[in-house]
A and B are shown apart, each in its own frame.
Chain A
Amino acid sequence: MKKLLTFGICIAIAFCLQIQPSKAQLINTVVSITGRVIDEITRQPLGTTLEIFDQSGIRVNRAKSNIKDGYYFITGLKPGQTYIIRNLIDFNAETRYLNHRIEIAIPNTDKYSEFSHDIVLIPATKDLQIPLRVSPFAAGRSKLRSGAEKSLKHYLETLKENQRIKFEIVVFPDNNAQASENLTLTNQRAAALKEFFETNGIKSDRITTKGNNALDPLNPPPMGKASKGKKYKGTIYIVIKNS
């Protein structure tokens, strides 16, 4: 009987613990996200509409970024939850932007907090050259370096969200040493990137590739010694082939 009572108490405690809401829920804590919406190429602020969804896909909020400074402010978000933010395409805008989707995990907190997150949108412009910010290759190598998938994630997600976009991967060499070797290397790098995108769900008929045997005329190596982070690597562009 005593054992049964102890067992019952244990069950009751476990039940209480399970339904006990967190402190944040008890006091209905909300948090906000703020940041800027900017253009991937020009880095200029953008005025756009953002929609916020919870994990079950229900839209929970909508916000506009200020056209002058790109600032947006989304409030009423719950600590510990994950939200998805999408840009709403404005078909009347001078420059249209590709669909963009980001997932933001809100940390657990018991008091009102503002978190920051910038949103970078890629223009949906034919023949637009989008340079990869960080080279996914080590100098002289044609195999994707370890961890390259992280720096390519932004582009992969955008291409997944814009199924009708066809694009070309254009690769320039690291130097002007040997034209034939440069062409081989850049073709191999382009092929490695194509394989990465295909492996991660992009249809192969959306992707073409182009290697080059000479340096990128739009981005030549710096004169003199390069400071931290500026060691020259051949440019890689994703070029949008249809509008």
Chain B
Amino acid sequence: MSKIFKYLILLFTIFFINANLQATDGYSYKMKTIGKHDGEVLGVFVNWNNSMFASCSVDETIKLWKLPEGKEVCTLHGHLGEVNNISFSGNDKWLASASTDQTVKIWDVASCKEIETLEGHTDMVIGCYFSQDSASTFVASTSFDKTVKLWDVRLGTEIKTLHGHTASINNVAYSYDGKYLASCSDDKTIKIWSTDLTTKTPIMTLTGHNAPVLTVIFSFDSKKIASSDQNGEIIIWSMPEGKMIRRIKGHTELVQDVSFADDNIRLVSGSLDKTIKLWDTDTGNLLFSFDTGNEVWSVDLVADASIITFGCEDGTVRMLIRQQEKAPKKPVKGGKK
């Protein structure tokens, strides 16, 4: 009897530890809720120097948070619709936000004040991405109006509109070498565009997804693209060839957000199946999985992957904080930077 009792205690202990610290191959994280929006958190974005991250929500606001403590800095009001995505500029001075109110807004991070509103899309704006050079002159945005627009932030005006997708466009990413834009769409394709101001046709179209493609992102060396879709599949592509390297069927529900670590190998994904997963994109191996207990709408990483920030369906903004430090193979920086 006492043996059975001891066995049950042991099982319970294992179960308890597993619920809090889920570890695979040395990746152990503990979850912390740091604050709350009044609705789904549709985007999180860690800045370049990992001192801050931003979250945006259907509650029409953006919040800035200090890292690593996760303390709220300020709330940005101004959009008149859901804020669907956000992006810090490469110099960390500004933040761009994309909204259902059909606009992109540029915010000054230091003062938490709106700088300008970019108008021109004719349907809700879903994605935005700041150029990651130190000047941070340009912002790209995507909309359900099936266009990608490039904006000059200094002039506050639209300088290029890209047509080619045949359905709503969900997201956009700038390559870190500044040469390319990638956009993904309900037409199940990813299109690669040149950032030069004269070329207006896509350089190539990546096909392989069997469902609407929800997000796309470049690795920091601009040699890989990761994309995720409505069926929960992630595909890794090589750049500039545009060849499919790997398919990862990692989630049972749609994957709304993915983000590369600075080693250009690890990729974090967040899904409405309530899990966050960390992948080795070279092997396709799952490094770590965490059941958050709530639908995950957005995810990003900070330096050395010691913190994963994410936003949930219940409005909470949360962090996964690494518990056991195993020395990584090489120093890493992380995030959609």
Contact = CB atoms under 8 A, between A and B. Distances in A.
Interface string B198-234: 0000000000000010100000000000000010000
A178 B156 CA distance: 47
Contacts of B147: 118
Contacts of B80: 145-148, 150
A150 B101 CA distance: 8
Contacts of B124: 133-134, 229
B159 A114 contact: yes
Contacts of A116: 120, 149-150, 158-161
Contacts of A107: 155-157
Contacts of B114: none
Among B85, B158, B212, B297, residue most surrounded by chain A Cβ atoms (within 10 Å): B158
Among A117, A133, A224, residue most surrounded by chain B Cβ atoms (within 10 Å): A133
Contact of B256 (A35, A154, A227): A227
Contacts of B58: 231
B170 interface: yes
A118 B161 contact: yes
Determine the main DSSP class of B at the interface with A.
Answer: loop
Interface string A200-239: 0000000000000000000000001101110100000000
Interface residues of A, number: 28
B156 A227 contact: no
Contacts of B230: 224, 227
Interface string A88-130: 0000000000000000000101000111111010000000000
B163 A36 contact: yes
A151 interface: yes
Given A120-B122, A228-B84, A228-B126, A134 B159 contact: no
B197 A225 contact: no
Among A109, A229, A231, residue most surrounded by chain B Cβ atoms (within 10 Å): A229
Nearest to A79: B155
Contact of A225 (B103, B159, B253): B253
Interface of A: 35-36, 43, 69, 107, 109, 113-118, 120, 133-134, 145-148, 150-151, 154, 224-225, 227-229, 231
